[in-house]
A and B are shown apart, each in its own frame.
Chain A
Amino acid sequence: MGEMLSVKNINVYYGSIHAIKDVSFHVNEGEIVTLIGANGAGKTTTMHAISGLLKLQSGEIDYCGQTISKMEAHKIIRLGLAQVPEGRRVFSGLTVQQNLQMGAYTRRDGKEAIQNDFDMVFDLLPRLKERRNQPAGTLSGGEQQMLAMGRALMCKPKMLLLDEPSMGLSPLLVKEIFKIIRQVNRNGVTVLLVEQNAKMALEIANRAYVLETGTIKMEGEANELANNIEVRKAYLGCE
């Protein structure tokens, strides 16, 4: 269980706004690690910095022994590091099937292997199978979230970055999504999960980091943090 992803003292600016200040954390192979925090804490910015959509001002990000912080986004995914972006961002004009096909865009290992993964995704997310020929824009929010996750799985990732998968979903659907995340992790995919729903995130994660206004405020085992008084007050709504 070596370190798979390590983020070292990164600083990210949005124009003149210093959004991420000296943030460091790591994710070990096989883990579910969660990054919790309020709106505007810098969670999504951190995710975009890892996947290459945003450039770092300073610091370094290593993944599987390779420095990826200067790499372009479309090359980073080829290393098996996939992101499910906030707000799903499925291609609404394309069908479910075509969206999944887009997920496999970087694959060069033959039709058969890709077909196997189609079956795997449809097994995991049977609702998508029913709707495979429907434009993604006509799906419900929960189905779109599943599609976004399925799409990311189609590139055969070693590590999945999940950005607010529970956003805007009913409690029942949130439960279902988290069940799927757990299943994906059991199948051998390391997960970095960004969540506002701290309660659910801490339930399934091994370790957690608390992000506040661009800096890491706390870190530790997920169950420890779930019992921490400060965390309970600020993020779990308990007295």
Chain B
Amino acid sequence: MQFLSYLINGISLGSVYALIALGYTMVYGIAKMLNFAHGDVIMIGSYVVFFAFGSAGMNPVLAIVLSMVVCTILGVTVERVAYRPLREAPSLAVLITAIGVSYLLQQVAQLAWTSNPKSFTSVVTGLQPISLFGGQLTISAETVVTIIACIVIMAALIWFVNCTPAGHAMLAVSEDRGAAQLMGVNVNATISLTFAIGSGLAAVAGALLCSSYPTLQPTTGAMPGIKAFVAAVFGGIGSIPGAFLGGILLGVIENLSKAYISTQLSDAIVFLVLVVVLIVKPTGLLGKKVNVKV
């Protein structure tokens, strides 16, 4: 019973990782860059929910929608201002810029809201925990909502990418930017759309993450950001189902090692698993091997 409870909480944590990992993997697939500022977009989103819902008493769903809007604008603006001028630059320059943006967002948050941790009020209100097996197993409402939200978003995203013209344009740009342009795809607009979707999902992930782990400070996004990046690589960076699988597995591994091995070592174990996976299967679990034909 205990095991089941750890497992379900792990899946829930993993769902959050999966949502964040989607932002990494889509941006990597389409813009061919690692957006290390992604984790900090989550943090900004969580602050928006904190103030709108926790302080101003807004409806929680509306607060999340507001946070999605703010994060989308933030993500698209960051891309426009910081990354687009570097489109033809070496990837190292873009990577350093992304790290710079990450620090910038953290420092701005610190100036605006101080580094004192804020106690986040869960956005899941009015729902009772689920009790199973005569009270032996209790699952919190946050856990259930997180898992369901993740599944719904995942399904919607897979439909969007595979069944709409904009989604096909994304696939085309991710495979061959030049050929996509020759089809009439506006590459800049497609990359902006990708950042918009990734950042919007980051807002949802932030609200869900802080509902389960309710301390909010300017560095809140950093560790989940890194772990979600690991999840994306774990599942095969560039692959949407890979981000989902990688996220869930990572959450489960982390929670089970916390429970059965050591709380302090859980992060180390997570990264160790990544190293092992990369040695055995360098493209990640669902990653495709890229054959470059000449």
Contact B184 A105 (CB under 8 A): yes
A contact residues, range: 20 to 34
Contact B183 A151 (CB under 8 A): yes
Interface hits, A145-198 → B, CB 8 Å: 151-152, 155
* Assembly CA distance A46 to B187 (angstroms): 22
Contact A77 B171 (CB under 8 A): no
B contact residues, range: 10 to 19
- Write the A56-98 contact mask toward B (1 if CB under 8 angstroms, else 0): 0000000000000000111101100011010101111110001
Could you say which residues of chain A place their CB within 8 Å of the CB of B91?
none
Contact B179 A91 (CB under 8 A): yes
Could you say which residues of chain A place their CB within 8 Å of the CB of B172?
91, 94, 102
Instruction: Determine if B263 is an interface residue (Cβ-Cβ < 8 Å).
Output: no
Given contacts A87-B293, A94-B168, A101-B168, whether A74 and B175 have CB atoms under 8 Å apart is: no
Contact B171 A106 (CB under 8 A): no
Instruction: Determine if B110 is an interface residue (Cβ-Cβ < 8 Å).
Output: no
Given contacts A91-B171, A94-B168, whether A85 and B184 have CB atoms under 8 Å apart is: no
* Assembly CA distance A53 to B171 (angstroms): 19
Could you say which residues of chain B place their CB within 8 Å of the CB of A101?
168
Contact A106 B178 (CB under 8 A): no
* Assembly CA distance A116 to B85 (angstroms): 41
The chain B residue with its CB closest to the CB of A154 is B183
Contact B175 A93 (CB under 8 A): yes
* Assembly CA distance A51 to B184 (angstroms): 11
Question: Which are the 8 A-B pairs with shortest beta-carbon distances?
Answer: A106-B184, A73-B181, A89-B179, A77-B184, A74-B186, A105-B183, A91-B175, A74-B184
- A residues at B contact (CB < 8 Å): 51-53, 72-75, 77-78, 82-83, 85, 87, 89-94, 98, 101-103, 105-106, 151-152, 155
- A sample of 12 cross-chain residue pairs with beta-carbon separation below 8 angstroms, ordered by A number, consists of A72-B181, A73-B178, A73-B181, A74-B186, A74-B187, A89-B176, A91-B175, A91-B176, A94-B171, A94-B172, A98-B168, A106-B184
